[in-house]
């Protein structure tokens, strides 16, 4: 992962969205599952 990333927490769903660089997106749910949308 790059040195510049932006984590975003959605309190409604409990999911964390991580945007790293221009093309890496990761979605992490409360149960720890990762998705690459």
- Please report which confidence band the pLDDT of residue 34 belongs to, taking 50, 70 and 90 as the band edges: very high
6, with CB counted inside 10 A (0-12, 13-18, 19+), is exposed
pTM beyond cutoff 0.85: no
pLDDT value at residue 15 = 93
Residues 23/28/32/35 CA torsion (nearest 10 deg): -50
pLDDT value at residue 3 = 62
Please, what sign has the CA dihedral across residues 27, 16, 8, 4? negative
In which domain, by residue range, is 24 found?
5-35
| Beta strands per DSSP E along the chain | 5-10, 15-20, 24-28, 34-35
Structural domains counted in the chain: 1
């Amino acid at each position: 992962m790059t040195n510049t990333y932006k984590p975003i927490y959605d309190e409604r769903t409990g999911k964390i969205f991580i945007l790293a660089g221009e093309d890496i997106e990761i979605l992490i749910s409360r149960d720890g599952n990762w998705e690459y949308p």
